[in-house]
Amino acid sequence: MKSYRLLLWGLGLAALGALLFGLLAEDPGYLLLEWRGYAIESTAVTALALVVAAWLLLRILLGLLMWPLRAWRRHGERRARRRLADGLLAAQRGEHATALKLLNRAARRARFRVPALVAAAESARALADEGAEQRALSALDEADAESARLARARSRLAAGDAAAALVLLRAAAEPPAPAVRIERIRAALAEGEAGAALLDLRALKAGAAAVPAELEAETLAAALRHSPDLELLRQRMAELPRGARIEPRLVAAFADRARALDAPELADDAIEQVLRKQWDELLVADYGRAGRGDQRERIRRAEAWLEEHPDSAALQLALGRLCRIDGLWGKAEAHLLRASRGPHAAVAWEELALAFVAQGEELRARQALQNALAAQRGQAPSTLSARPRAAIGAGSEALERRSSMGVPLLADGSAPQAD
């Protein structure tokens, strides 16, 4: 297509040249120039050719005169570009003192001043050199106020002052750049303003801007976890992309908030829906945490899962917790002891302590709490003391009571119902 256009332009210029040549051939014109007794006679075509030649000669002379200056400028830009590249590479390697020196030199060139000063401020912050950082930021204020605002906000955020960072970022020019929105999301999350973070995330997604996956997941989880009521919680969950609705981290946040809003069934339903499609240990460990609702149904469902996942420590923990809540002390202890040998050891020991306290076994409860602390520190747990005879009898009675027909009874004295 480009060659076709060039051909058309060439043909057009050739036609125009032929037309002008024909006109000038018929009448080349006459030019008379008189000045202080001198007279110059020429045809118009010759005069025009002389003017063009003089203009070209002048351009060549000016080019020759400016060549050293241009060569020196190009050499300076090449050195500044090399210093900027070397400074960024040194900063990436953690050699921030070298990076700061190179970047400050690169900033002397106007073309590279803004990126060099931004990187210099970050290297100075990494060196804890507050003076160098402030000098870089002050110079950046003169070069690009918005870049300086963003750099100052990042500095405040890195220092743990999210409130000050948020004030700076909210004063940015409208519409804010994607980088400003991303830092505003981080600051809002640090300040617990999940709603504001969610608005900025939606604006970024609407503009097709790239958002770090971890930051997006953190924002969505925070928005779910801070929903003020069940209606908004359901709405935010429904607005998630289809793939995100079964993301374990987001489902866990949804379940936590549903329990806090006194809807444990909604929390467990969400977990169950995900576990039907994909197994996730963190979600399983979170199952039945609220301790309200139909515990027997949850126990039956968890026991069915155990047949498919017999080595799941998270499922042992969930079953142990469910049995403890339902007063099935023997089963609770058995499941929790198995869970204590896995990655959820500290939580399992805490659940065991609660079970022992409920049964009046204060000594074993203290030992379980000590083991929970040991698990958190990465230390080996101690062996539990033997159960008192009275506790053994009470526990056995709770588990082995039968009706007059010999049918085993549940902890509350009722017979199990057939499915």
> Per residue, what are the HEC states of the chain?
CHHHHHHHHHHHHHHHHHHHHHHHHHCCCCEEEEECCEEEEECHHHHHHHHHHHHHHHHHHHHHHHHHHHHHHHHHHHHHHHHHHHHHHHHHHCCHHHHHHHHHHHCCCHHHHHHHHHHHHHHHHHCCCHHHHHHHHHHHHHHCHHHHHHHHHHHHHHCCCHHHHHHHHHCCCCCCCHHHHHHHHHHHHHCCCHHHHHHHHHHHHHCCCCCCHHHHHHHHHHHHHCCCCHHHHHHHHHHCCHHHHHCHHHHHHHHHHHHHCCCHHHHHHHHHHHHHHCCCHHHHHHCCCCCCCCHHHHHHHHHHHHHHCCCCHHHHHHHHHHHHHCCCHHHHHHHHHHHCCCCCHHHHHHHHHHHHHHCCCHHHHHHHHHHHHHHHCCCCCCCCCCCCHHHHHHHHHHHHCECCCCCECCCCCCCCCCC
AA letter at 390: A
Distance CA 122, CA 148 (A): 12
Instruction: Specify the pLDDT at position 37.
Output: 76
pLDDT band at 216 (very low <50, low <70, confident <90, very high): very high
The answer to whether residue 388 scores a pLDDT higher than 70 is no
In a domain, 210, yes or no: yes
Distance CA 96, CA 87 (A): 8
Structural tokens at position 303: 């026991």
Residues 80 and 134 in one domain: yes
Q: Are 300 and 319 in contact (CB under 8 A)?
A: no
Distance CA 402, CA 409 (A): 5
Distance CA 246, CA 270 (A): 9
Instruction: Specify the pLDDT at position 24.
Output: 66
Residues 391 and 315 in one domain: yes
- pLDDT tens digits along 15-72: 887 777 666 666 777 777 788 778 777 777 777 778 888 888 898 888 888 888 777 8
Residues 107 and 130 in one domain: yes
Residues 390 and 300 in one domain: yes
In a domain, 416, yes or no: no
Task: Please state, in angstroms and as integers, the Cα–Cα distance from residue 169 to each residue in 103, 154, 162, 184, following that order.
Answer: 25, 9, 10, 6
Residues 263 and 301 in one domain: no
In a domain, 304, yes or no: yes
The answer to whether residue 399 scores a pLDDT higher than 60 is no
Residues 264 and 301 in one domain: no
> Which of 170, 198, 226 is the last residue before a domain boundary?
226
Question: Picking from 50-59, 74-83, 321-330, 386-395, which range would have the lowest pLDDT averaged per residue?
Answer: 386-395
In a domain, 33, yes or no: no
Tell me whether residue 22 is exposed, middle or buried, using C-beta atoms within 10 angstroms of its C-beta: 0 to 12, 13 to 18, 19 or more. exposed
Residue for token pair 């160098």: 132
DSSP 111: G
Residues 299 and 390 in one domain: yes
pLDDT band at 102 (very low <50, low <70, confident <90, very high): very high
Residues 310 and 389 in one domain: yes
Residues 245 and 211 in one domain: no
In a domain, 347, yes or no: yes
Structural tokens at position 316: 């042992």
Distance CA 148, CA 384 (A): 61
DSSP 408: B
Q: Which CATH number covers residue 309? A: 1.25.40.10
* Rg for the chain, CA atoms, rounded: 39
68 upstream amide cis, omega within 30 of 0 = no
φ, ψ of residue 278 in degrees (nearest 5): -150, 140
AA letter at 375: A
* 41, β-bridge pairs: 32
DSSP 294: -
For residue 364, the tally of other CB atoms under 10 A from its CB is 22
Count structural domains, the chain. Answer: 4
Residues in the chain: 419
Domain span holding position 384: 294-400
Percentage of the chain lying above the pLDDT 70 cut: 89
In a domain, 357, yes or no: yes
pLDDT band at 396 (very low <50, low <70, confident <90, very high): very low
Structural tokens at position 405: 């027909």
Instruction: Specify the pLDDT at position 389.
Output: 58
The answer to whether residue 400 scores a pLDDT higher than 50 is no
* 34, β-bridge pairs: 39
- pLDDT tens digits along 232-274: 999 999 999 888 888 999 999 999 999 889 888 888 889 988 9
Average pLDDT for residues 285-307, to the nearest whole number? Answer: 82
pLDDT band at 228 (very low <50, low <70, confident <90, very high): very high
**Most distant CA pair in the chain, distance:** 145
Residues 234 and 216 in one domain: no
264-296 core/surface letters (b: 16 or more CB in 10 A; e: else): bebbbebbeebbeeebbbebbbbbbbbeeeebb
pTM of the entire predicted model: 0.69
In a domain, 246, yes or no: yes
- pLDDT tens digits along 350-381: 999 999 999 999 999 999 999 999 999 988 88
Residues 252 and 336 in one domain: no
The mean pLDDT of the chain is 85
In a domain, 52, yes or no: no
Residues 288 and 307 in one domain: no
